[in-house]
Amino acid sequence: MHEYALAEAVLRAAARVAREQDLARVTRLEVAVGELQQISQELFERALTEVETASDPRLEGLEPTVTIVSAALQCRACGATFAMGEAAGEQGADEMEAIHFVPELAHSFLACPQCGSPDFEIEGGRGVTIAAMEGVTDDA
Amino acid sequence: MTLDPRADGAAARLADVKRVIAVTGGKGGIGKSSVASVLALEAAGIGHRVGLLDLDLTSPSTHVLLGYPTAFPEEPFGVEPCDHAGVRCMSIAHFAGAHAAPLRGASVSSALLEILAITNWGPLDVLVVDMPPGLGDAALDVLKLIERAEHLVVTTSSRVVLDSVNRMLQLLMRVRARVLGVIENMQRAPSSAASELAGRHGVRCLGALPYDASFEDAAGDPERISGTSFASSLRALLPALNL
């Protein structure tokens, strides 16, 4: 499951930021996952606690929270705004699996429900981001 | 805060890759993909552990050139490149199949970063990257994300191509990228164009690869490719690339 690779990326980034900010421990980590990633919230939360390759003492005991952000799409051809579930195009298991691997492939398989164009802006709901992070220094 | 963690993931995925050679050039149709694919094939043929990453996200072609299958990759932890003819291959074609991928700039960057962040290359002696033409998002992203990449610049003796490749070399020198040298591809007659271009930028001209009409027929079959004069000429250049 490539969720584990993305979880490792999140933890490595969090550990790097903690190092740069001289944090002794990270106490809160909020991760936002775009709907286009087609990732299960529960699975990703589990991956974030199970990945060992990115283990860092600053992250010990951390229980990251994951929020799924709905995709917001806007057609560049006709201006229509639409949600992922409203998109036209091919949405079979293989197409959704491809989008799961590389979310930008939404442009290969989804289309504007009004005019059918694949040229739409992904205004929200893609990618994995660290939305919030807090920690304590040794002095705290 | 909003932090995209994938660059950290990409660095981790490339941690066991000793060298990254980006096969680049300023123009489409000059044979970058052929050079990248055959370079990977021939380097593997002499015992190196080799990966091939096709970063031409809108027009991938290394799967056609080497004939590797484009089924979804295995994903035990991240995704596994497809092992083919001794080369670990990764392309957007694994996910898009034969569908068009109409990507604008931001989407090119995001897709590139996603692929770098999830691909398990494992230990490699060299990862060959087939770069897309031009100085667009993908080229700039590779310069930013893989600073240690060594650029192998492909040109032909066409004045149109030389003009574009000159711009590419200007950029590479300006950002102090590592340039392995210039190769003239599809040479039909002896020419000093590539060596003059390389000399203008203070980089090496590594040699020339002949125009080989038999290469098109060999495409898709690694064994036949290795028998072409194109492949044997490229094989002869491997020592100049420290391979």
- What is the predicted pLDDT for the residue at B162? 96
* Domain shared by A130 and A64, yes or no: yes
* Domain shared by A9 and A52, yes or no: yes
Percentage, residues of chain B above pLDDT 90 = 88
* Residue pairs spanning A and B at CB distance below 8 A: 119
- What is the predicted pLDDT for the residue at B242? 96
The answer to whether B40 and B52 have CB atoms below 8 angstroms apart is: yes
* Domain shared by A17 and A62, yes or no: yes
* Domain shared by A24 and A57, yes or no: yes
CB contact under 8 A, B102 and A107: yes
CB contact under 8 A, A105 and B96: yes
* Domain shared by A58 and A80, yes or no: no
CA end-to-end distance (rounded Å), chain B: 44
Q: Which of residues 93-122 of A touch B (CB under 8 A)?
A: 97-98, 101-105, 107-109, 118-119, 122
* Domain shared by A63 and A95, yes or no: no
The candidate with the shortest Cα–Cα distance to A99, out of A69, A130, A126, is: A126
The band of A13, judged by pLDDT with boundaries at 50, 70 and 90, is very high
What average pLDDT does the structure give for chain B? Answer: 94
Total domains in chain A come to 2
The candidate with the shortest Cα–Cα distance to A128, out of A5, A26, A28, is: A5
- What is the predicted pLDDT for the residue at A2? 82
* Domain shared by A132 and A106, yes or no: no
Lowest mean pLDDT among A49-63, B40-54, B173-187: A49-63
Q: Residue B239 contacts by C-beta under 8 Å, 6 or more apart in sequence?
A: none
CB contact under 8 A, A9 and B115: no
* Domain shared by A7 and A63, yes or no: yes
CB contact under 8 A, B12 and A8: yes
Q: Can you tell me the mean pLDDT for B3-32? A: 94
Residue A35: give its domain's CATH number.
Answer: 3.30.2320.50
Sign of CA dihedral B229, B233, B236, B242: negative
Lowest mean pLDDT among A23-27, B76-80, B119-123: B76-80
* Domain shared by A47 and A98, yes or no: no
Query: Could you list the residue range(s) of the whole structural domain that residue A33 is in?
Result: 2-69+125-136
Q: Residue A46 contacts by C-beta under 8 Å, 6 or more apart in sequence?
A: none
Percentage, residues of chain A above pLDDT 90 = 75
The candidate with the shortest Cα–Cα distance to B52, out of B143, B147, B127, is: B127
- What is the predicted pLDDT for the residue at A51? 85
Bridge partners of A34, per DSSP, are A69
* Domain shared by A77 and A11, yes or no: no
Nearest to A12 among B8, B101, B120 (CB): B8
Lowest mean pLDDT among A40-54, A76-90, B37-51: A40-54
**Interatomic CA distance for residues A138 and B15, integer angstroms:** 31
**Interatomic CA distance for residues A106 and A91, integer angstroms:** 10
Where is B63: in which H helix or E strand?
Answer: helix B62-66
The band of A1, judged by pLDDT with boundaries at 50, 70 and 90, is low
**Interatomic CA distance for residues B42 and A62, integer angstroms:** 47
Phi first, then psi: give them for residue A77, nearest 5 degrees: -85, -45
pLDDT at A80 over 60: yes
pLDDT at A140 over 60: no
The band of B66, judged by pLDDT with boundaries at 50, 70 and 90, is very high
What is the value of pTM for the model shown?
0.94
Give A-chain residues touching B138 at CB under 8 angstroms. Answer: none
**Interatomic CA distance for residues B55 and A56, integer angstroms:** 32
As separate numbers, helices (DSSP H) first and strands (DSSP E) second, chain B gives 11, 8
* Domain shared by A57 and A11, yes or no: yes
Where is A27: in which H helix or E strand?
Answer: strand A25-34
Bridge partners of B182, per DSSP, are B153, B205
**Interatomic CA distance for residues B208 and B190, integer angstroms:** 9
Secondary structure letter of residue A76 according to DSSP: T
**Interatomic CA distance for residues B154 and B157, integer angstroms:** 10
Helix (H, G, I), strand (E, B) or coil at B186: strand
Lowest mean pLDDT among B3-7, B50-54, B73-77: B73-77
- What is the predicted pLDDT for the residue at B3? 92
pLDDT at A139 over 80: no
Lowest mean pLDDT among A20-29, B130-139, B185-194: B130-139
CB contact under 8 A, A9 and B6: yes
CB contact under 8 A, A9 and B114: no
- Beta-strand relationship, A120-124 and A72-75: antiparallel
Distance from CA of B1 to the nearest CA of A (A): 6
* Domain shared by A117 and A132, yes or no: no
Radius of gyration of chain B measured on its C-alpha atoms: 17
Q: Which residue has the tokens 């709901």?
A: A125
The candidate with the shortest Cα–Cα distance to B23, out of B35, B13, B40, B11, is: B35
